[in-house]
């Protein structure tokens, strides 16, 4: 904005303050981007990337309720967002005996995941170090934007992981 233009804006603002007559012409109204180029957005709104050095995403895993459905195998999940992915396949483990029949395990919130920009799909990677496993459902929770993405396991067969290693992908519409 050159000096003349800035002066014109100041004059218009003064006129508005004094007379309350007219709004600024649209061209003279600075947009947020123009006012603060490169400014970092904060957690107040859903638009734009948000830095994430704190825990933000949770992964909620529901194991099937059949008596044989549980496993002690290593399970890693990669979350594919529209803007970024989780940092590789992330180990899903906490202090509990995870992936037991009928149990819902909540992992995270994970730190240092990028802003995923909405969840597209996930990859679930079961290692061969445990028995077979029936996955019922996975949810990805964005605790910052208060959104939960439901990853669909269309049928029991789709969520069945055999004794050996297997990776299966699920949509999270
Ligand atoms: Ca287990
Ligand atoms: Ca565990």
Ligand nearest, relative to CA of residue 92: 2
Cβ-based burial of 126 (10 A; exposed 0-12, middle 13-18, buried ≥19): buried
Q: Are residues 146 and 69 in the same domain?
A: yes
What's the gap in Å between 98 CA and the centre of ligand 2? 5
What's the gap in Å between 86 CA and the centre of ligand 2? 20
Q: Are residues 123 and 166 in the same domain?
A: yes
pTM: 0.70
Taking the C-alpha atoms of residue 127 and residue 115, their distance in angstroms, rounded to an integer, is 27
Residue-number span of the structural domain to which 123 is assigned: 57-171
Q: Are residues 14 and 69 in the same domain?
A: no
* CATH code (residue 117): 2.60.60.20
Q: What is the pLDDT of residue 54?
A: 64
pLDDT tens digit sequence for 47-96? 455 544 567 999 999 999 999 999 999 999 999 999 999 999 999 999 99
């Amino acid at each position: 904005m050159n000096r003349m233009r800035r002066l014109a804006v100041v004059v218009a603002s003064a006129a508005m303050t004094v007379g309350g007559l007219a709004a600024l012409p649209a061209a003279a109204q600075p947009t947020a981007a123009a006012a603060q180029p490169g400014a970092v957005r904060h957690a107040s709104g859903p638009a734009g990337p948000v830095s994430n050095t704190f825990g933000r995403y949770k992964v909620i895993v529901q194991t099937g309720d059949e008596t044989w459905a549980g496993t002690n195998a290593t399970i890693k999940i990669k979350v594919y967002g529209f803007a970024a992915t989780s940092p590789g396949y992330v180990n899903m483990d906490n202090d509990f005996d995870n992936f037991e029949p009928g149990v819902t395990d909540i992992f995270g919130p994970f730190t240092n995941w990028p802003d995923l920009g909405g969840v597209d799909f996930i990859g679930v990677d079961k290692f061969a170090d445990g028995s077979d496993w029936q996955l019922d459902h996975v949810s990805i929770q964005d605790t910052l934007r208060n959104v939960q993405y439901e990853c669909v396991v269309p049928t029991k067969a789709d969520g069945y992981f055999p004794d050996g290693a297997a990776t299966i992908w699920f949509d999270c519409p």
